[in-house]
Structure 1
């Protein structure tokens, strides 16, 4: 979910650029039978929405030497969910957020490769002709909206069941994980955000979750 707009990054700029957002989230590893957390103790959260099912299917692209990954970037084509499209995720900032750029799918397919607009934005990092599919991540996601008293989205909690394939080595991995991502109505101050995150971590640990061993789904898919 977006918590800021038009943030600068190191990618090439386009005259009519894509949508921008900043992703600020926590990630947790959980077992298949771990019950969902109790969010009643989170500051500012007064409601938890019903589960929204999203069937997500993403193909990730990089060079054979993983030039984008080593620079802290990821590019994917994802179908399903409210933000389907082409995405470029940037390196994390000092607060743990990641700038994300998004383009619509159009009529392209993953087999057609990276669209020109996306490739142009990556030009300072990698030559477009070197980009090839490196991973496919399919995710059965249940999303829950955590709302405030005014109906604003404080955070989104998602329960992910992942089937991921390392396209380079033909290795498939499956796991379950949770994400807790700030929404537009998240606290504005750093202290209040810290308190919200601390309460979320406490709720997750009480349910049996634990800190994620991997920084991202892509890294875990590739064995990192």
Structure 2
């Protein structure tokens, strides 16, 4: 595994929707000139923490995820600006093999805690993704329609739900006021379709009943 991670700041908005809620016409969002074809992704993530929950206390999540264009090891840290994600390539372990956190990931977490790290949740997600592009083809945002099944590995409790997420891309408007306007319009489109703001700001929190 390479020791050089990739980092990005996620600025997103999440919504809860029912199983049959229709997807809005996202071309109504400011600046969006085209909506890409749906792309199906099957994601399988296992989340880890220390037995005493030190990562959660530090507003940090650790996961190993297979499937999708960004499969790999991820550390997500909550910040006032958004979620700062650092990613390493996937190791060679199988989906059901014992989890062993790679050394570069352990090094990145050392300021919070060292091992042991235990699997606290497994989250499987059937995702449909759409690219929302401007007139020049730049990615303003990605919209994903997620159908999620989760298991709290501490208790064995299972849950399932559907949620939507809009995450800003590199061609998103640079001004905070314009970003707010884009999300305000997204809120209106979701409400008109029958959706609502997400009750939880993360899939992990919802899987664990937080």
CA distance in 2: counterparts of 1:39 and 1:91, whole angstroms: 27
Aligned residues: 207
Matched, 1:136 2:122: yes
Matched, 1:108 2:93: yes
State the SS of the aligned residue for 1:111.
Answer: coil
TM-score, with structure 2 as normaliser: 0.95
Any conservation in 2 of the 1:140–1:161 contact (CA below 8 Å)? Answer: yes
Per-residue CA shift, 1:131-188, capped at 9, x if unaligned?
1100000000000100000001100000000000000000100000000000010001
Matched, 1:167 2:153: yes
Any conservation in 2 of the 1:139–1:163 contact (CA below 8 Å)? Answer: yes
* Superposed counterparts of 1:1-224, under 5 Å: 17-93=4-80, 95=81, 97-109=82-94, 111-128=98-115, 130-224=116-210
- Over 4 Å off, 4+ runs: none
TM-score, with structure 1 as normaliser: 0.89
State the SS of the aligned residue for 1:91.
Answer: strand
Per-residue CA shift, 1:33-92, capped at 9, x if unaligned?
111112232110010011100000000000122110121000000000000000000122
State the SS of the aligned residue for 2:98.
Answer: helix
Q: Which runs of 5+ in 2 are unaligned?
A: none
Any conservation in 2 of the 1:59–1:78 contact (CA below 8 Å)? Answer: yes
CA distance in 1: counterparts of 2:91 and 2:48, whole angstroms: 18
Over the aligned positions, Cα root-mean-square deviation in angstroms equals 1.3
Any conservation in 2 of the 1:154–1:182 contact (CA below 8 Å)? Answer: yes
State the SS of the aligned residue for 1:125.
Answer: coil
Q: Which runs of 5+ in 1 are unaligned?
A: 1-15
State the SS of the aligned residue for 2:22.
Answer: coil
CA distance in 1: counterparts of 2:22 and 2:142, whole angstroms: 17
CA distance in 2: counterparts of 1:204 and 1:101, whole angstroms: 30
